[in-house]
Amino acid sequence: MPRPIPLLRVDGPVMVLGGPYGNLEATRAALAEAARLKISSDRIVCTGDVVAYGADAAATVALVRGAVGHVVMGNCEASIAAAAPDCGCGFPAGSSCERLSAAWFAYAARELDEDARCWMAALPPRIDLEIAGVRLAVIHGGVDVINRFVFASTAAATKRAEIERSGCDGVIGGHCGLPFTQAIDGRLWHNAGAVGLPANDGTTRVWCSILTAEAGGIAIEHRALEYDWAAAAAGMRRAGLPQEYAAALATGLWPSCDVLPLKEIRERGVPLVPERVFWLPPARDAVRKRRRACTRDELWPRGERAAQLRLAPHKFRDPQLTATGVPRAHVTMERLTTLWFNTGTLCNIACRNCYIESSPRNDRLVYLTRGEVAAFLDEIESAGTGTQEIGFTGGEPFMNPDFIAMLHDSLARGFRVLVLTNAMRPMQRAKARLLDIRNKFGNRLTMRVSLDHFTPERHEDERGPGTFRPTLDGLIWLARNSFRLAVAGRTMWGDDESAERAGYARLFAEHAIAVDAASPRELVLFPEIDPGADVPEITDACWGLLGKSPADVMCASSRMIVKRKGSDRPVVVACTLLPYDPRFELGVSLRAATRTVALNHPNCAKFCVLGGASCSAR
């Protein structure tokens, strides 16, 4: 029988504390702030993880037990109470977080006595808070999953589902360690941050929040706290705890970003600014009417906080010269080894940072027809271009009604064919026809599945909630049916490449997927492209400086066919990543598309030259 949910009704200000983490000095500072504001212990709520990285597990537990009226069970409390082998955060195997957490968890477990463990075991996994006429669920991670990471960038649909599961007007969460406040379909999601560790913003401050009923809503103050971080760090060193976390108290930067989504990684080192915001609860009927829209309003922090430099507007303008007047690098096509067809930009999903903005609504590139593809295959044969490989990309190619026929025609002419797919429902609806093609043409067909990371969290950070399992299922089906496979991942989260390949290798071994994760041909790790980020322009001199040749770049050996919405016929473009830029349109025939290409776009530098990436199978 589930425990009853404790209910806390308040009519005065409430202090919310996240993650004391065994940092005694910071916890004292937070409680001193509560005393200064005359907030009594029965109006202080902690979202869990009383112990973690800090040196004073037992003393922090004793302090919280005596001075904090309401504490939700965190995954650290749940793990220690159950004598579990680790903290239960679910860090990726082999990651820095997993390695570092093993040390502090073992230390905290040794420090705590049976009385402390019993207290932890008795903590409620949820407390409901009634304030300003609304009910908020105070939880640690997710409503049902205690160690679920919910960040500011986590999909609004995910937060909406959690709020609906709670049955409340909003959620006060913890676990992720980073403070934020949002309105999801008008309802509240609030995280006070952590008391025990800086917010990865490059300052030594830690965070709490004050909630006050006001004018029919709730005023929420994100409050930064100064404390004796040097004493806390010294204690960690004396205890023999990981020095990386002691250094984090001094630098304000976490030692690892293993669990962070891309948005939060990019915000690393950018100081947060304390602010007071106001949330006005929506009318109940307004929530029901807006259920399909799933809106997210950023109440705090607001605006872009990316630490990286933005692209200067005068770069990549002149095809001949860089912004500094130096001759720009150009690439001459040596041989048309690979011809790509973009089957159309419509896709069954909308990735957060799709290279060509594919989505269920983007039809800027319309479906190619079987006849249009056949005409270019005819031209390859009549012109004797020596083309060996045909590539199909999208959008999702399997959404094009002519795609299976195009695939068959290309293979029947003797080409090797590479198909880029997310392996989700559109591909899975074509299983029978795909099996026929595999039986007829064997290994001349390679299916490259886009699995952006070996963990569901990071794959879905890019592709959206619920996308990992269907893609993995499609990949498993292809493997079990002996298709020649490759997998495309991303490096956007800054993972060490060897660790990333090891993570994929574990996943492939678990599901008997015949892909060699150590092979750059079979597991292709593509660099991230942020269209607004600064990137150097490539000059003629760069080839020698980088130890590269123009022949290494995709446009030396490939072209892509696209058909723009409203156009009568397809055109040839220089690159798979530049289908919309008219500067890279090369004509309506392959014969006319052999001219030299100026590397006059940020993608040329970031993806191809500096990133060393290629979309082809070579």
Over residues 375-422, the pLDDT tens digits come to 999 999 999 999 999 999 999 999 999 999 999 999 999 999 999 999
Tokens of 487: 């997998």
Q: Read off the pLDDT of residues 246-293 as tens digits, 9 standing for 90 and up.
A: 999 999 999 988 889 999 999 999 999 999 999 999 986 565 555 566
485 and 370, same structural domain? yes
292 and 166, same structural domain? yes
Tokens of 242: 């990981």
CATH number, domain of 125, equals: 3.60.21.10
Burial bucket for residue 188 (CB in 10 Å: 0-12, 13-18, 19+): buried
State how many domains the chain has: 2
Alpha-carbon distances, residue 550 vs 217, 541, 553 (angstroms): 61, 11, 6
269 and 382, same structural domain? no
Does residue 323 sit within a domain?
Answer: no
Q: Which of 300, 319, 353 is the last residue of a domain?
A: 300
117 and 65, same structural domain? yes
Q: Which of 257, 280, 300 is the last residue of a domain?
A: 300
240 and 124, same structural domain? yes
Does residue 158 sit within a domain?
Answer: yes
pLDDT of residue 92: 76
Does residue 88 sit within a domain?
Answer: yes
Three-class DSSP category at 63: helix
Q: Which of 251, 283, 300 is the last residue of a domain?
A: 300
pLDDT of residue 528: 80
482 and 347, same structural domain? yes
> Among 33, 123, 4, 110, which Cα is nearest to 70's?
123
pLDDT of residue 614: 78
> Among 151, 141, 177, which Cα is nearest to 19's?
177
Q: How many CB atoms lie within 10 A of CB 196?
A: 28
Length reported for the chain: 618
334 and 288, same structural domain? no
Regions of the chain where pLDDT drops below 50: none
- 50 near 22, Cβ under 8 Å? yes
Longest dimension (CA), the chain: 85
Does residue 586 sit within a domain?
Answer: yes
> Among 474, 307, 313, which Cα is nearest to 398's?
474
Enclosing domain of residue 441: 330-609
CATH number, domain of 445, equals: 3.20.20.70
What phi and psi values does residue 186 have, to the nearest 5 degrees?
90, -20
Tokens of 471: 């893609």
What gap in Å lies between CA 591 and CA 439, rounded to an integer?
34
Q: Read off the pLDDT of residues 82-110 as tens digits, 9 standing for 90 and up.
A: 999 888 887 777 777 888 888 889 999 99
383 and 281, same structural domain? no
Strand positions, DSSP E, 233-295 = 275-279
What gap in Å lies between CA 339 and CA 250, rounded to an integer?
53
Does residue 305 sit within a domain?
Answer: no
Give 189's strand partners: 171, 182
167: left (phi over 0), alpha (psi -120 to 50) or beta: left
What gap in Å lies between CA 557 and CA 11, rounded to an integer?
70
- 299 near 521, Cβ under 8 Å? no
Does residue 283 sit within a domain?
Answer: yes
What gap in Å lies between CA 330 and CA 583, rounded to an integer?
13
- 403 near 343, Cβ under 8 Å? yes
- 235 near 243, Cβ under 8 Å? no
Supply the DSSP symbol for 327.
Answer: B
- 132 near 217, Cβ under 8 Å? yes
pLDDT of residue 344: 97
Q: In sequence order, what are the residues at sequence separation of 6 or more whose Cβ sits closer than 8 angstroms to the Cβ of residue 529?
A: 353, 355, 577, 602, 603, 606, 607
179: left (phi over 0), alpha (psi -120 to 50) or beta: beta
Q: Answer whether the bond into residue 395 is a cis peptide, omega within 30°.
A: yes
Does residue 315 sit within a domain?
Answer: no
What gap in Å lies between CA 482 and CA 40, rounded to an integer?
66
Sign of the torsion angle spanned by Cα atoms 41, 71, 116, 91: negative
188 and 116, same structural domain? yes
pLDDT of residue 2: 72
> Among 201, 152, 203, 197, which Cα is nearest to 173's?
152
- 390 near 446, Cβ under 8 Å? no
DSSP codes of every residue in 527-572: PP--TTB--PPPBTTHHHHHT--GGGSGGGTEEEEE-BTT-SS-EE
396 and 268, same structural domain? no
Instruction: Tell me the average pLDDT of the chain.
Output: 94
Inter-helix orientation angle 243-251/229-238, to 10°: 170
394 and 262, same structural domain? no
279 and 356, same structural domain? no
Three-class DSSP category at 170: strand
pLDDT of residue 617: 64
Give 222's strand partners: 209, 275
Does residue 447 sit within a domain?
Answer: yes
- 155 near 174, Cβ under 8 Å? no
